[in-house]
Structure 1
Amino acid sequence: MRKAPGGYRSRREWHAKARRLHVLEDRLARERADWEAETVHAVRGGKRLARARRHLPAARLTEGEWRQRWEAARWFLQADGESGKRFGNETIRIGPDGEVSIRLPVPLAGLANAPHGRYVLTGRVRFTHRGPEWADRVAANRAVAYRIHHDVQRGRWYVTASWTIPAAPELPLAAALAEGVIGVDTNADHLAAWRLDAHGNPIGDPRRFFYDLTGTAGHRDAQVRHALTRLLHWAKACGVKAIAVEDLDFTAEKTREEHGRNKRFRKLVSGLPTGRLRTRLVSMADQTGTAVIAVDPAYTSKWGAQHWQKPLTSTMRNTSRHDAAAVAIGRRAQGHSIRRRTAPPRAHQSDGCGHRTVQARPEAPGREGPRPRFAGPRTRSVPPDRRVNVGHQNAQHRSGRSAEHESWQQDSLPLGLQER
């Protein structure tokens, strides 16, 4: 049982982990008790900034600087939006040109510089992120919430706009897969994608969208967002309406009890941005009208490498295991089997030795019917009028057909003596 998962190196390490578990359980019980008693422990301005007051030298702040940040963190103006009101908000109104006006309360109505008790700010607002979407909502008088706050470190005032995105309508699976699908394999440092047609055949070359998940949380989120943006742009350029991803969840598979002391593997699994990528992909795909299909991740990498890596590798293209897994994911989303259609041996590639791989079974309905008609001859040796009587079995000389049993009469003289 040397390679069995679970266990610790020593009893001392197990004791330390057990103490940590008891501390977390006590903390969880305390938080649940506060939640049931509806007790909220919140500090307006942040707990970290409040604690920095007692450690100003360590925070590299003076008392005046700390006071400015404390007041700025506790001082803001916020108003929820209202659909049907002018520009989507009656209290804080921002027009399409960026003009900001605030409706003052009754005690401050004497400070208004605009009609109807409103105060118009001299500065103009511009939204760089999702600006066109915000402009569309404002033009349609749809609800938009605003929050005005002051950044002491930069010496600027900022306005944050937010709104609720309605739930995306569910697209029928057949309609989403009409133009094919793009299979995406999620890895620790890149997304491996391959486009498949409506029949499950890979088209073109695979694409890889790299990202770097080291650094701060903002940097990691920007890297994931940039990779997904390039993926969605490629899907839009190809005309594909569906993206297939694996429904991964490593919540229970990255613990010590599952993989023992294999820190390298547990670190790799923990680094996969499964939850963040899935949430971000669904949100961004909704804006472009692209459907996201979650498939079962079981054996996609193993079977993809087994059935697709070697056939898709050529002198001009080096197919990796992740690229083959993307093909397997796309085929599973389409309802096809991952296994490729293998050809029979050379001695059995004819009807004389039995049926070939993809022939219809005897019980299949319509297997004796005529084949669909194609325009023009199929080979150079076939005359143009050859397919006139394809579906007419009586016009063909086959065994058991009435063409062999019709009455006929031979001439009285041989053909060689008729003209003499």
Structure 2
Amino acid sequence: MAELHPIAPAFVVSGPSGIAVRDRLKHLTPADEQVLRLVGAHLGALASADLKTRCADGLEHSTDTWAARKRELTVQSSARWAGAITKASHDQWALARRGQADHIRDLQAAIAAITRRLSLPVGKKGTRKEPGGYRSAREWFAKSRRLGVLTDRLQRQRVDQQAGRVRVVRGGKRLARARHYLEAAGLTQAGWRQRWEASRWFLAADGESGKRYGNETIRITPDGQVSIRLPAPLAQHANAAHGRYVLACRAVFAHRGTEWRDRVEANRAVAYRFHLDAVRGRWYIIASWQVPAAPAVPMSAALAHGVIGVDTNADHLAAWRLDVHGNPIGDPRRFPYDLSGSADYRDAQVRHVLTRLLHWARTCGVNAIAIEDLDFATEQTTEKTRKKHGRRKRFR
């Protein structure tokens, strides 16, 4: 008799801890774009130098070195810009350390999986839980070579981890590597340069509760007027009092605009970040803020009006409305999506299918959607996915 897969107890997922909304800045004048580019390039250079210093400090970082870095940046920008830059450097270093630890665990899992299969006779069949030996002597030899490569790589990563050494590319490693094969990446040298420079700019400011409209550095009034506190070396470009530059356009957050407006009118913290889509030549501004943790909803209250049961598949979501007893009501629904193409296209497909699912759940009058906990944490290593799904690279 086949062993059944155990079903873990159901639980209610907690709500989001923050909100981020985006709006396109339309009708920017050439002077506006020039100022944004100058500020982004100037602060981006400072952020790159500060990140280099933070990475060089490694495990020797302390509050004294942090204060020294912030003092140096304040002279070239302002106290608030310096605080935002140093905080971003700390976050980037911490993220790189977490990625380094995950990479080490991935290498360890890969080495363990290959070592086990190499110890088995060639051609030995596996079971439903564990794979057998490699299918041929040629594959066994190739995997033995790969084992040596992974072992050397793991040793280097452990040395870097003990020394507190991380490797970070501001602008993205993928884009940096694309410079060496522009034709294959579908880019020109000028187009790559525009994307590279835009990705290395720094145009972000953290919110401050109690300050006017929730942010002293990048300020947006309730009616949408956008102004920036210019760094000291660029103060000659100011067109308003106190070294500020006011953009000619207005920011209108269509999504959650009421919540954003309530926060800025109450002078509650709102963080802002400018973003240039170098491919389309469009400027955006992103507003984000934290929300208090909502109390956990009891399972009985969530299921009081029924539930939408959802099954995830490779190209669609299969959904069915269930009553309080788990019996299906009406006809099942299918929500297709296409996960081919670029990463932005795939993300958009996921957002659209979830939006359609939420709209249907609202029309049904239910307050909960039940979905399987796929637990991707156990499937993150390359060797585990290869072992489970074989050579079906697209499915993996």
Which of 309, 320, 336 matches 1:194? 320
Shift of 1:169: 2.7
Q: Corresponding residue for 1:295?
A: none
Q: Rg larger in 1 or in 2? A: 1
Separation in structure 2 between the aligned mates of residue 48 and residue 122 of structure 1, nearest angstrom = 35
Separation in structure 2 between the aligned mates of residue 195 and residue 170 of structure 1, nearest angstrom = 23
User: Which runs of structure 2 are paired with 1:360-399 in the superposition (5 Å)?
Assistant: none
CA RMSD, Structure 1 to Structure 2 (Å): 3.4
Q: Which amino acid aligns with 1:125?
A: A
Deviations 1:175-219, CA, capped at 9 Å, x for gaps? 111112222122222222222222333222222222222222222
Structure 2 CA distance for partners of 1:49 and 1:267, relative to 1, 3 Å: closer
Q: Corresponding residue for 1:6?
A: 132
Q: 1:79·1:145 contact (CA, 8 Å) conserved in 2?
A: yes
Deviations 1:223-245, CA, capped at 9 Å, x for gaps? 22222212211222222112211
Task: Check if 1:27 corresponds to 2:153.
Answer: yes
Deviations 1:140-189, CA, capped at 9 Å, x for gaps? 43322222344544444332333335444310111111112222122222
Shift of 1:133: 4.5
Task: Check if 1:92 corresponds to 2:242.
Answer: no
Structure 2 CA distance for partners of 1:143 and 1:21, relative to 1, 3 Å: farther
Once structures 1 and 2 are overlaid, which stretch shifts more, 94-103 or 54-63?
A: 54-63
Separation in structure 1 between the aligned mates of residue 166 and residue 290 of structure 2, nearest angstrom = 26
Q: Which amino acid aligns with 1:224?
A: V
Shift of 1:91: 0.4
Shift of 1:43: 3.4
Work out the number of aligned pairs and report it.
266
Separation in structure 2 between the aligned mates of residue 78 and residue 72 of structure 1, nearest angstrom = 13
Q: Corresponding residue for 2:346?
A: 220
Separation in structure 2 between the aligned mates of residue 101 and residue 138 of structure 1, nearest angstrom = 14
Which of 136, 141, 146 matches 1:15? 141
Structure 2 CA distance for partners of 1:176 and 1:18, relative to 1, 3 Å: same
Structure 2 CA distance for partners of 1:240 and 1:98, relative to 1, 3 Å: same
Q: Corresponding residue for 2:48?
A: none
Task: Check if 1:247 corresponds to 2:381.
Answer: no
Q: Corresponding residue for 1:234?
A: 360
Structure 2 CA distance for partners of 1:81 and 1:28, relative to 1, 3 Å: farther
Which of 93, 100, 114 matches 2:240? 114
Deviations 1:328-363, CA, capped at 9 Å, x for gaps? xxxxxxxxxxxxxxxxxxxxxxxxxxxxxxxxxxxx
Q: 1:100·1:121 contact (CA, 8 Å) conserved in 2?
A: yes
Separation in structure 2 between the aligned mates of residue 110 and residue 231 of structure 1, nearest angstrom = 52
Q: Which amino acid aligns with 2:136?
A: S
- Percent identity over the alignment is 72
Q: Corresponding residue for 2:267?
A: 141
Corresponding residue SS for 1:163: strand
Report the TM-score, using the length of structure 2 for normalisation: 0.56
Separation in structure 2 between the aligned mates of residue 224 and residue 81 of structure 1, nearest angstrom = 30
Which of 251, 257, 261 matches 1:125? 251
Gaps of 5+ in 1: 271-420
Q: 1:76·1:149 contact (CA, 8 Å) conserved in 2?
A: no
User: Which runs of structure 2 are paired with 1:33-182 in the superposition (5 Å)?
Assistant: 33-50=159-176, 68-105=194-231, 111-127=237-253, 130-182=256-308
Structure 2 CA distance for partners of 1:20 and 1:88, relative to 1, 3 Å: farther
Q: Corresponding residue for 1:360?
A: none
Separation in structure 2 between the aligned mates of residue 100 and residue 245 of structure 1, nearest angstrom = 41
Report the TM-score, using the length of structure 1 for normalisation: 0.54
Q: Which amino acid aligns with 2:332?
A: P
Q: 1:100·1:125 contact (CA, 8 Å) conserved in 2?
A: yes
Separation in structure 2 between the aligned mates of residue 37 and residue 207 of structure 1, nearest angstrom = 54
Corresponding residue SS for 2:290: coil
Separation in structure 1 between the aligned mates of residue 175 and residue 276 of structure 2, nearest angstrom = 16
Q: 2:125·2:133 contact (CA, 8 Å) conserved in 1?
A: no
Shift of 1:79: 0.9
Structure 2 CA distance for partners of 1:36 and 1:132, relative to 1, 3 Å: farther
Q: Corresponding residue for 1:205?
A: 331
Structure 2 CA distance for partners of 1:192 and 1:103, relative to 1, 3 Å: same
Q: 2:125·2:132 contact (CA, 8 Å) conserved in 1?
A: no
Deviations 1:227-278, CA, capped at 9 Å, x for gaps? 221221122222211221122236459645457x5x45x865x3xxxxxxxx
Structure 2 CA distance for partners of 1:57 and 1:165, relative to 1, 3 Å: same
Q: 2:263·2:270 contact (CA, 8 Å) conserved in 1?
A: yes
Separation in structure 2 between the aligned mates of residue 195 and residue 57 of structure 1, nearest angstrom = 49
Structure 2 CA distance for partners of 1:130 and 1:23, relative to 1, 3 Å: farther
Q: 1:6·1:258 contact (CA, 8 Å) conserved in 2?
A: no
Separation in structure 2 between the aligned mates of residue 106 and residue 256 of structure 1, nearest angstrom = 54
Deviations 1:308-337, CA, capped at 9 Å, x for gaps? xxxxxxxxxxxxxxxxxxxxxxxxxxxxxx
Separation in structure 2 between the aligned mates of residue 54 and residue 108 of structure 1, nearest angstrom = 34
Corresponding residue SS for 2:203: strand
